[in-house]
Chains A and B, each alone.
Chain A
Amino acid sequence: MQISGSQMVIEALIAEDVTTVFGYPGGAIMNVYDEIYKQNDFKHILTRHEQAAIHAAEGYSRASGKVGVAMITSGPGFTNAVTGLADAYMDSIPLVVISGQVPMSLIGTDAFQEIDAVGISRSCTKHNYLVTDAKDLARILKEAFHIAATGRPGPVHIDIPKDVTAQIAEFDYSLKLSLETYKPHIKGNPRQIKKAIEAIAKAKRPLFYLGGGIINANASDEVRDFVHRTGIPAVETFMARGTLSHDDSLLISMLGMHGSYAANMAMSETDLVIGLGARFDDRVTGKISEFAKNADVIHVDIDPASISKLINADYPIVGDVKNVVNDMLKLSSDIDSAKYKPWRETISNFDNLHPLTYHEDTDRLKPQWVIERVGELLGDDANISTDVGQHQMWTAQFYPFSRPRQFMSSGGLGTMGYGFPAAIGVKAASPEKISINFTGDGSILMNCQELMTAVEQKLPVINIILNNNFLGMVRQWQTLFYDKRHSETDLSVQPDFVKLSEAFGGIGYRVKTKEEFDAALKDAIDKNIVAFIEVIVERMENVMPMVPAGGSLFNMMLLQKKEK
């Protein structure tokens, strides 16, 4: 059919089964917004900042497993969105982001609101397109959704000049894609898989190292099955939280810079790392030469570039982790769970020696208590987003996650300001769950304007602000490594968070005690509108354990033991 470029965008979104789009209009994208106005097939959510539109699309995608979609205008609209693109790129979140561009005839003339968008997005997207003719749009849109969602997922950016959105051309979305140069390898090599299984059967102290790729691949069921069948203990990366349920006896905890003592010691003592969809990030490995020093490494990853990038893999397996684990399951009868009993005991001794815990030894509430308490009260009924900082690490350590896609947080880029808009996207994707954002007094101000979006769209996100009057994570480093010179991290001057929320039509609470917290949380859930619950917490609490940057995993700073 012959339609305009703008109509093509709408038709493609409908064909891709998109139900929610996040965005912000402006000159170059107005033709598309005019078509959005005319349709009823999907909902458009107007955020109050383009960065927030991308994070909301990320949250939406992470919670639903679908491709997130966002729409923005040229120039400042696009540049505001760049942080979001980079965030999605680092965390392998599938997005299609469509931006307007000045008309073709003006490109290169320093036109009003012109910026080389594809030049900027090239290094922070999986792929990008500048559309120069509407007749290419069907193919490009279809490719974009395909590339975003397959292989190692990631954001795809499409930049469309204004005249192309007005141009009439032929549109046929049933076209077959022929991406000769893009063929992700999804089936693992059977010989390599067999060798890996033999290595597992031979190992005395094997350890599963579970990563975010399992969540991307929707492979948690298979992985749970495999872990239980083999009786091999497991550590999770930050991005993998929820792959195993918190109450699984084989789950040790998170490993890495703020991993548990047992998880980091298990990684240091293992003789075989079974890496599934994890990328050996520096926050995880600490000093590379000391990481899992006595172990062979099995590494299953869909991205060959992740394999042997930092840690040499003895058994590299390129493939989709769901397929590979299924194949491994079929061969797992040789693996004898009983054999690893002493190893499991060693690990539980580690855990008894230094369990992941905290002391309630101050007048002020401890932030960890708040997180644990929400876990007790809401558990599986909540989806959990976070901002970036100490509160983020405590959430990863202390929230009892029970399923994949329950936890969304900016891991790779560590973007303050991610949490609130992401939680809005999460609520839009799964309205039946309570959407909580654990945030800090620093981070929340980086996208607090999204109160307006949440009020307008009736998306009752509950923001729990763990207020320590500090840029806490940076303050912790200053305390520990900069001789307590707390340079520019003291946030004693603050807004009235209660009034701030109320000014937008949300609800606000300031709480100092356990009772007040319980009451506020209950009330916020009952009232069912967007809320700020400001919790005054201990200012000088540190996230422990901690592996100082570049140190070895087994050299952790630990929580001081209390005299009984």
Chain B
Amino acid sequence: MTESNERRVVSVIVVNEASVLSRITDLFSGRGYNITSLTVAPIPDSKYSRLTIVTSGSVRVIEQITKQLHKLIPILRVYEHADLVEKEMALVKFPISDNITDINTLCEAYNGKIVNVGENVIIAMVADEPKRIENFLKIITRYNPKEIVRSGAVALER
């Protein structure tokens, strides 16, 4: 399988039950598939949860991933997204310095703001497309971020 590796977002609707997450992660590790990020949360007023998995692989591998996921008994639906809206959140902790306004302006450009100001640190939040988040994180290195947390992507088909 020498075809090129493509980034793909797969959404999975699963029954909320014990060990369903390990069924999914075991499948990925057992069959040698990649997980770049994975997010889960219950779907309101239902017995289901929604997972968003960012993965990569050749066309054939991605097809196998969706089919193998679908084979798992507690999985209701698997969507392999083609045309989607995708967002990710990041929280960044900065030391307090003269640059607060710069940081704030920058965050605004990435749908974010400063969400917490402490004695020695501030925490900023941004929410944007994963690619733009990458970009943001590159830019802010100059402000010496102390800690960065990314949420992993969530996605909806257009």
Contacts and interface: CB of A to CB of B under 8 A. Distances in A.
A305 B64 contact: yes
B71 A305 contact: yes
B73 A130 contact: no
Contacts of B73: 126-127, 147, 179, 181-182
A42 B45 CA distance: 44
Nearest to A303: B71
B67 A122 contact: no
A304 interface: yes
A119 interface: yes
Interface in B6-53: 14-15, 18-19, 22-23, 26, 30
B95 interface: no
Interface in A214-259: none
B18 A122 contact: no
Contacts of A179: 73
Interface residues of A, number: 18
Interface in A294-317: 303-305, 308-309
A126 B26 CA distance: 13
A498 interface: no
A305 B75 contact: no
A206 B73 CA distance: 36
A180 B76 contact: yes
Given A180-B76, A181-B15, A309 B64 contact: yes
A304 B70 contact: yes
Interface string A114-130: 00001100110011001
A122 B74 CA distance: 13
Interface in A79-120: 118-119
A118 B15 contact: no
Given A127-B73, A147-B73, A181-B73, A305 B67 contact: yes
Interface string A173-209: 0000001111000000000000000000000000000
A123 B75 contact: no
A118 B23 CA distance: 10
Nearest to B76: A181
A118 B70 contact: no
Given A118-B19, A147-B73, A181-B76, 9 more contacts: A123-B26, A126-B73, A127-B73, A181-B15, A182-B73, A304-B67, A305-B67, A305-B70, A309-B64
22 contacts: A118-B19, A122-B19, A122-B22, A122-B23, A122-B26, A123-B30, A126-B73, A130-B18, A179-B73, A180-B76, A181-B14, A181-B15, A181-B73, A181-B75, A181-B76, A304-B70, A305-B67, A305-B68, A305-B70, A305-B71, A308-B60, A309-B64
